[in-house]
Amino acid sequence: MKTLSVFALAVFASVSTLAQIGAPNAAGVTMGHVHYTVKDVDAQKRFWIEQLGGIEVHNGPLSLIQMPGTYIMFRQGEPSAPQEGSTVDHVSFAVKNLKDSMARWNAAGVKTVQANNPLQCYVVGPEGIRVEILQDPSTPRQFQANHIHLHTVDEAGMEAWYEKAFGFTVTKVPMLTSKNLQVIGEVPGTSLHFATEKTALAPTKGRALDHIGFEVKNLEAFSKKLEAQGIKLEAPIRTVPNTKVKVAFLTDPWGTYIELTENLAPSSL
């Protein structure tokens, strides 16, 4: 019985660590979730759990796949377009050993696309959902959230907007796949990477990758700060039925649909 109790505590500790999203920054903001619109929710859940190490948890009626640094959520529906071609090109996770991960995926029949750099690949899930995987031996665990890649015709403007609106620190860091410096917005739990495009890309709303979400400490107060900056919510703050989760939506000036949440993490975790 003692052995079983120790094992149970170890499992609980592991799950609790996995569930933790980043501590909020000075503005009270941290990474929350990425939300996909898909035809087959069950197939997506199996992919994220079996191939990417996620764990399904629930907050009332809300189903979330918890990953280190973020949550993944799905809405059943017919996406208006694939994720490619919008302002959010992809979501990225880091692994300790990419070669081992790719060998396991290939053995399981999961499609992978090797990038030009041996430290980078894309793994393709059901309905063409594409996730970038980077090798980083220093990552504390497999599939640690690494970044969300935003594409825009106005990189400087986007960097400044996210810095002002959400308090994200914009800096330059070495890329994992090269010695070049990458401009990032430091988001607790992950980061935003910015890339310049020659032509404007499509908004995310309605596409396979519908929106990204940030968790905030006090949604009412934070929304007032946004409004003071001229950033308006698309609808009043509402509470998800049978939960304590408050949500609101807005769209950045380049078309990225953003959900703001409060109390998204299951209270039991």
pLDDT tens column, 50-61: 999 999 999 999
Q: How far is CA 262 from the centre of its chain?
A: 16
Maximum mean pLDDT: which of 136-145, 155-164, 167-176: 155-164
Please say whether the beta carbons of 33 and 190 come within 8 A.
Answer: no
Model confidence at 68, in pLDDT bands (50, 70, 90)?
very high
Instruction: Supply the pLDDT for residue 221.
Output: 98
Model confidence at 5, in pLDDT bands (50, 70, 90)?
very low
Answer whether residue 16 is part of any domain. Answer: no
Answer whether residue 82 is part of any domain. Answer: yes
Can you give the three-state secondary structure of 56-101, one letter per residue?
EEEECCEEEEEECCEEEEEEECCCCCCCCCECEEEEEEEECCHHHH
Answer whether residue 269 is part of any domain. Answer: no
Give the list of residues 6+ apart from residue 239 with CB closer than 8 angstroms, or none: 245, 246, 247
Answer whether residue 267 is part of any domain. Answer: no
Q: Which of 14-23, 87-96, 129-138, 151-160 has the lowest mean pLDDT?
A: 14-23
- What tokens appear for 30 in the block? 């941290």
Provide the domain limits for residue 64: 22-262
Q: Which of 10-14, 117-121, 170-174 has the lowest mean pLDDT?
A: 10-14
Answer whether residue 68 is part of any domain. Answer: yes
Answer whether residue 78 is part of any domain. Answer: yes
**CA pair distance 261, 244, nearest whole angstrom:** 10
Answer whether residue 201 is part of any domain. Answer: yes
For the segment 69-114, what is each residue's pLDDT rounded down to a tens digit?
999 999 999 999 999 999 999 999 999 999 999 999 999 999 999 9
Quick check: helix, strand or coil at residue 196? strand
Among 58, 55, 64, 56, residue whose Cα is nearest residue 35:
64
**CA pair distance 224, 10, nearest whole angstrom:** 42
Answer whether residue 126 is part of any domain. Answer: yes
The average confidence (pLDDT) of the chain is 90
Instruction: Supply the pLDDT for residue 268.
Output: 54
Model confidence at 241, in pLDDT bands (50, 70, 90)?
very high
> What b/e readout covers 71-108, taking b as 16+ CB neighbours within 10 angstroms?
bbbbeeeebeeebeebbbbbbbbbbbebeebbeebeee
Indicate the residue type of 198. Answer: K
Kindly report whether the global pTM for this prediction surpasses the value 0.95.
no
CB atoms within 10 A of CB 120: 19
| CATH code (residue 255) | 3.10.180.10
Model confidence at 173, in pLDDT bands (50, 70, 90)?
confident
Domain count, the chain: 1
Give the list of residues 6+ apart from residue 269 with CB closer than 8 angstroms, or none: 15, 16, 19, 57, 66
Indicate the residue type of 203. Answer: P
137 or 20, higher pLDDT:
137
